[in-house]
Amino acid sequence: MKVHSSMSRLALSPTRPLSPAVHSTSTLLYMRQTRYLNGKLDTPHAKRQHTTSTHIGQKSSWTHPIYSKDQILAVRTAHREADTWQDKVALGTVRVLRWGMDFVSGYRPRTVGRNGKSTTYIMTEEKWITRFIFLESVAGVPGMVAGMLRHLKSIRRMRRDNGWIETLLEEAYNERMHLLTFLKLAEPGPSMRFMVLGAQWVFFSGFSLAYLVSPQICHRFVGYLEEEAVITYSKAIRDLENGHLPAWSSLQAPAMAVKYWQMPEGQRCMRSLLLYVRADEAKHRDVNHALGNLNQDTDRNPFAARVGAQVESVARSAGLRQLHGEGNRKEN
């Protein structure tokens, strides 16, 4: 995997403005189905060209909530104790997957000497990026699978879904944005792409079957998986702060990351990017642990009543407190 050591390659490619006729109404946009890409007219019959431009013409359907500096710094690793057999199944599965991910991404713990300091520095910038890309390519699957299956279930039963679908799809979208952000910093090689393809096929199939059998176990599984994600990003942040990742010390976040997280001036470095991503993972951790406590057929999604309430509630659980054994449990 080739890692970009600077942001020079991330300059926005110039694009030719859309014609006034296309800008006039959204109806004309869909009727004419034409657009300009790099100065060339693109039609439905023309072959679309791949682009990695960070230019975004329309506002995202899921505008990311603005995290304060205190919120992203307050995120801590946390663990929910596995008491029931369902919890133990979910936790055991995550631990097996964690071992596999460690092997694939080349993760090795540091050797600590008697003075408490690391004597070897095995995790380089390239290995961390490899781990991030593989992690996010897997993390983007559960929300999409759960949202899709609940969507189909809602259609079959011809009734509402109690507000679950949008939260699950937003989670999948958020994880994909993590992946796209890290792809701005690295170019995966053929072997990495093949591993992602294989992992996606296996995980998508397995998680789909598991969600049909027990959505509750699956949400608990995702909660434990996100616990590991928070640990991973916390370790990377610590390595960066301790000077073990010198290539990232002056690296700035990609333009698309600045726009998506609405990162303020002075908080657009690589460390800030990792802090924002970690805060997202902590939010997913707490949301899925909470969803795992609910009746999957009758309970409403507590995070979907109002957007403002969701942002406020999840921000508290994502960054401002730790989960304990009795945390995030449903009251009788």
Q: Which amino acid is at 203?
A: F
Q: What is the number of residues in the chain?
A: 332
- Residue 178 assigned as binding residue: yes
> Cβ–Cβ contacts within 10 Å for residue 320, how many?
13
Alpha helix ranges (H) inside 35-187: 69-73, 85-105, 125-157, 164-183
Burial of 133: CB neighbours in 10 Å, binned 0-12, 13-18, 19+? buried
Burial of 148: CB neighbours in 10 Å, binned 0-12, 13-18, 19+? middle
- Residue 228 assigned as binding residue: no
- Residue 284 assigned as binding residue: yes
Cα(194)–Cα(183) distance, rounded to whole angstroms? 16
Cα(134)–Cα(1) distance, rounded to whole angstroms? 12
Closest residue by Cα to residue 167 from 151, 182, 186, 191: 151
The tokens for 61 are 């359907």
User: Which residues contribute to the annotated binding site for Fe cation?
Assistant: 136, 175, 178, 226, 281, 284
- Could you list the residues known to form a binding site, using ranges: 136, 175, 178, 226, 281, 284
